[in-house]
Amino acid sequence: NAGVMQNPRHLVRRRGQEARLRCSPMKGHSHVYWYRQLPEEGLKFMVYLQKENIIDESGMPKERFSAEFPKEGPSILRIQQVVRGDSAAYFCASSSQDRGNEQFFGPGTRLTVL
């Protein structure tokens, strides 16, 4: 059973470009969470999604950031017009419906904004 998969593992963007981060949850998992880890900091919750629904986006910046988890395909975290402060590691986690708090993490995508 493959774990949570994220791609790309490393992403370099110039200021003003768009970044798209993908997350495929573990097989059988219908809940996806995105977290951001800034240098020298712990992980901060961004958004919680179920298939075709955003459940909680209280940690998501109001502008430039969006997330989706379509019926088919991976979850996507999209950052428009990236700035240097967006440089961070972005982690995706997934859980099954009946074990909502037991989350399994992917390897992360490390975004560098030049």
Partner 1 sequence: AQSVTQPDIHITVSEGASLELRCNYSYGATPYLFWYVQSPGQGLQLLLKYFSGDTLVQGIKGFEAEFKRSQSSFNLRKPSVHWSDAAEYFCAVGANAGGTSYGKLTFGQGTILTVHP
Closest to partner 1 by CB, 76 vs 89, is 89
Which of 41, 53, 62, 72 forms a contact with partner 1 (CB under 8 A)?
Answer: 41
Which of 48, 69, 75, 86 forms a contact with partner 1 (CB under 8 A)?
Answer: 48
The nearest distance, CB 81 to partner 1, in angstroms, is 27
State the number of CA atoms in the 13 A half-sphere of 101 facing the CB.
Answer: 0
User: Where in 1-114 does DSSP place strands (E)?
Assistant: 5-7, 10-13, 19-24, 31-37, 43-50, 53-56, 65-68, 75-79, 88-95, 104-105, 109-113
Q: Given the rule CB under 8 A, which residues bind partner 1? A: 4, 31, 33, 35, 41-45, 48, 56, 58-59, 91, 93, 95, 97-108, 110
